[in-house]
Amino acid sequence: MSPDDALQKLLDGNKRFVAQNTQDRNFAEEIASTADGVDGYAVVISCMDARVNAEQIFDTKIGDIFVLRVGGGVINQDIVDSIEIAINMTQVKLVIMLGHTKCGAIVNATKNKGQEVSQLIAKVLPALDAVPTSLGEPSLSNIPYLRKAEEMQVVLSTQQLEESSPLISNLINENQMMIANAIYDVETGKVTILEASS
């Protein structure tokens, strides 16, 4: 499977999810076929938000994807190390950096910008600063600002992941792996891939 095939497979799964046409599951069979090891092909990093459940959103089966969830989808060393473990276990072709609309971490960061914030929210603040000034002031009523901040959180997390892991950046340079930036829309269930900004 190529990185592009892995992405297409997950996007096809998201289409089934949105269409309420998810694949038939046989959990006993899935458990039995993965008991001796997995053949997972993708890693999804997402927020811990209760709406952003990667296995359902991408209509995957047991053993298909490795999922790391933390508030705001922030990157830390444990996340990087976990992805490297997955890569060493199996043929991971793709990392999806999955942000989402109406993210509580972005809302919290916007509301408390300039005040004392938690360690996690401090990691989200650079995404706010990366929003173009043309979108106006940070405020909870400025929806275009919040949407852009959610995107920038994804973009910056990907940059941070590449910088933190020579293993991952080497695989990307050799075209053996890809990171896709994406946003999950909590109103439609749809995943949209963000165009790479040049």
Q: Which residues bind Zn ion (CB under 5 A)?
A: 47, 49, 103, 105
Shortest distance, position 2 Cβ to Zn ion, whole Å: 30
**Amino acid at residue number 145:** Y
Distance CA 69, CA 46 (A): 5
- CB nearer to Zn ion: give 60 or 101: 101
Shortest distance, position 102 Cβ to Zn ion, whole Å: 8
Q: Which residue number has the CB closest to Zn ion?
A: 47
- CB nearer to Zn ion: give 95 or 183: 183
For the chain, strand residue ranges (E) read 42-46, 65-69, 94-100, 178-184, 191-193
- CB nearer to Zn ion: give 10 or 105: 105
- CB nearer to Zn ion: give 178 or 186: 186
- Which helix (DSSP H) or strand (DSSP E) does residue 33 occupy? helix 27-34
Shortest distance, position 72 Cβ to Zn ion, whole Å: 6
Pair of tokens at residue 192: 């949209």
How many residues are present in the chain? 198
Distance CA 81, CA 63 (A): 19
Shortest distance, position 129 Cβ to Zn ion, whole Å: 19
